[in-house]
Structure 1
Amino acid sequence: MAAMKPEIVLLVGASFWGLGWMPLQHFAGLGLVGMPLVLATYGLLSLLAIPLLWRQRRAWWPQRTALLAIGLFGGWATAGLVGALSEGDVVRAMLLFYLAPVWGLLGGWLVLGERLNALRVGALALAMLGIALTLGISHDTFRPLTSTDWLALSAGLAFAINNLATRAAEQVPLASKAVVAFVGSALLGGLFCLLQGTPLPAMDGVLWGQVALFGVFWLIAMSAAQYGFTHVEAGRAAVLVVVELVVAVLTAAWFGDRELGLREWCGGALVLAAALIAARPPAESPSVACEVRP
């Protein structure tokens, strides 16, 4: 992975996320949705994550606050988005969650001191327009926010904070950054299951095996994403991850769940154009550019 450009690795991770709707749809057909699915999947992954975090404790201890932020906000981003998609309107949930690039760009500027130039703002504007066209916006989109809407909005904000924390945690091993959010997701999923009174449904060995494979899928996606977030400026990364939306829409159309019209194709083209702009290396001297690489 180290031999690949971080932007490419991040795009691969985002593409994996865009494919996540397929196993989610499969599990929904089996009665495993929402927070019980979060608890089952990330609870299994935590069995791997906790021993790994313990073995690497000396490496991440100096930046334990940043690692805790990754676990908390990364865990909430996952749990909140899955809950919003399970319980609310999918289009509204995705629109609100994908305000995350706005938070990421502003956070990179305000918190990390990254440059907010016209090219980066333009790429973000293209991405936002592409999202609106791809998902579709109607008068109903702007109705007052419901509890599930707030869940999706907060998940997007948490996702942006997670990316900033990942970027700041330069001394934390990549493996620890990749798995700590799983522990956060499992804890938050379990908490919501208790608060909502929704226990895990009856699950046989086959279903647990499928959940485990789903966990491996997310482990690969999260590892790629965390590598990208570590090496790519937060403002650029916020635009690149929007490719997830294009992958989700295109694969849904490919498998017959929705049809693509001119609006969707135009929206996807704008998002891809924004990603290409954001993926361009910054116009800085070689000595400065190398400073962001470990």
Structure 2
Amino acid sequence: MSAPSHGPVAALLFNALVWGLSWIPLQALYRLGLHPLISITLVFGGALATLLLSRPASLRGLVRAPQLLAVSLAAGLTNIGFNWAVTIGDVVRVVLLFYMMPVWSVGLAWLMLGERPTRAALLRLLLALLGVTLVLQRPGQAWPLPSGLADWLALMGGFCFALTNVLLRRWRDTPGDARALAMFGGGFVMAGALALGSGALQTLPTAPVGDWLAWVSLLAIAVFGGNLALQYGAARLPAQVTALIMLSEVLFASVSAVLLGAATLTSATLVGGALIVLAALLAIRR
């Protein structure tokens, strides 16, 4: 089999880099006084507006594929869970808990796609569960349970990420622009609704508008470009190669967080993270 061409690989690496470093502007916005839900609403609102202006036909495609509203719901919860968690939590811990794809995917694929788990799938499930047990264990804690909002958000986001992928596989024949619109729209509408319902909109930023607007604009452009890069690369490479390259997000997030002091590495986290990544790699390899 020939080696993948450089363009699609670079596109996927760019998308992984965007999400691996997204915690930096999100935490900067949090320090400037923006609640994570407000930041997510603004970022996805910007990405949504950019998509509608550049590709207005995507709206017609979404209207013709109303089933993609389920993708909007799953993708919206994915982005709320992940982005909120990396804003307030230990970045490495959050990313590892988010990448519990092997656990969630086994059950969802069986339930929604009729794909019965094989012995290999159950082995991956066991590895991932052992890994998350090690990551969740904290000194002095009797049981390895989620502790704090960031843990729960990361696990919820990871489950919804697996659900999003299963739904996209189920409706893979729908237009790519319509799928992107569904995902951006889900992030914008759901984060905005939660911000309104929780009272987060009542908190005003303590910094001048120009300070936080620059971070919001930068992240919105990066998210929009990352989505285009993902669709370009994923359409030109085998699914296994795409999934393998996307795991580099764990590396980007972990290295940047440790270097910038946003995460603490313990031996249990390293071993647990290695088991989670191993389970994901085994899921990629057919």
Query: Normalised by the shorter chain, which TM-score bucket?
Result: 0.7 to 0.9
8 Å CA contact 1:71, 1:181 repeated in 2? yes
Q: Kindly tell me: are residues 146 and 262 of structure 1, through their superposed partners in 2, closer, same or farther at Cα, counting changes over 3 Å?
A: closer
Cα offset, 1:22, TM superposition = 1.8
Alignment partner of 1:49 out of 48, 51, 73: 51
8 Å CA contact 1:34, 1:83 repeated in 2? yes
Cα offset, 1:142, TM superposition = 4.8
Q: Kindly tell me: are residues 260 and 198 of structure 1, through their superposed partners in 2, closer, same or farther at Cα, counting changes over 3 Å?
A: closer
Cα offset, 1:112, TM superposition = 1.8
Partner of 1:285: none
Give me the whole-angstrom Cα distance separating, in 2, the residues matched to 1:191 and 1:116.
37
Q: Which amino acid aligns with 1:47?
A: A
Cα offset, 1:272, TM superposition = 4.0
Give me the whole-angstrom Cα distance separating, in 2, the residues matched to 1:142 and 1:264.
12
Partner of 1:120: 121
Q: Which amino acid aligns with 2:170?
A: A
Give me the whole-angstrom Cα distance separating, in 2, the residues matched to 1:9 and 1:124.
30
8 Å CA contact 2:136, 2:144 repeated in 1? no
Q: Kindly tell me: are residues 12 and 111 of structure 1, through their superposed partners in 2, closer, same or farther at Cα, counting changes over 3 Å?
A: farther
Deviations 1:39-58 (A, max 9, x none): 21112112123345641345
Partner of 1:24: 26
Q: Kindly tell me: are residues 58 and 143 of structure 1, through their superposed partners in 2, closer, same or farther at Cα, counting changes over 3 Å?
A: closer
Unaligned runs of 5+ in 2: none
Deviations 1:230-276 (A, max 9, x none): 8638xx95x98665445422322233444545444434443443343
Cα offset, 1:26, TM superposition = 1.9
Cα offset, 1:189, TM superposition = 1.9
Give me the whole-angstrom Cα distance separating, in 1, the residues matched to 2:176 and 2:18.
18
Partner of 2:190: 188
Q: Kindly tell me: are residues 114 and 9 of structure 1, through their superposed partners in 2, closer, same or farther at Cα, counting changes over 3 Å?
A: farther
Cα offset, 1:35, TM superposition = 0.8
Deviations 1:87-120 (A, max 9, x none): 6787886676444542222212331233533333
Q: How does 1:24-173 map to 2 (within 5 A)?
A: 24-51=26-53, 54-65=56-67, 67-84=68-85, 86=87, 97-114=98-115, 116-133=117-134, 135-138=135-138, 139=141, 142=144, 151-173=153-175
Q: Specify the SS of the correspondent of 1:172.
A: coil
Task: Report the more deviating stretch, 265-274 or 67-76.
Answer: 265-274
| Structure 2 residue 256 is the aligned partner of structure 1 residue 251 | yes
8 Å CA contact 2:21, 2:253 repeated in 1? yes
**Percent identical:** 33
Q: Kindly tell me: are residues 124 and 226 of structure 1, through their superposed partners in 2, closer, same or farther at Cα, counting changes over 3 Å?
A: farther
Q: Kindly tell me: are residues 178 and 243 of structure 1, through their superposed partners in 2, closer, same or farther at Cα, counting changes over 3 Å?
A: same
Cα offset, 1:37, TM superposition = 0.7
Matched length: 275
Cα offset, 1:59, TM superposition = 4.2
Partner of 2:223: 218
Partner of 1:288: none
Q: Which amino acid aligns with 2:137?
A: I
Partner of 1:178: 180
8 Å CA contact 2:90, 2:263 repeated in 1? no
Q: Specify the SS of the correspondent of 2:173.
A: coil
Q: Kindly tell me: are residues 108 and 151 of structure 1, through their superposed partners in 2, closer, same or farther at Cα, counting changes over 3 Å?
A: same
Deviations 1:3-61 (A, max 9, x none): 57989976764454222222222222222231111121112112123345641345455
8 Å CA contact 1:166, 1:229 repeated in 2? no
Q: Which amino acid aligns with 1:171?
A: D
8 Å CA contact 1:243, 1:275 repeated in 2? no
TM-score by length of 1: 0.72
Alignment partner of 1:270 out of 252, 269, 275: 275
Q: Which amino acid aligns with 2:69?
A: L
Q: Kindly tell me: are residues 205 and 10 of structure 1, through their superposed partners in 2, closer, same or farther at Cα, counting changes over 3 Å?
A: same
Unaligned runs of 5+ in 1: 283-294
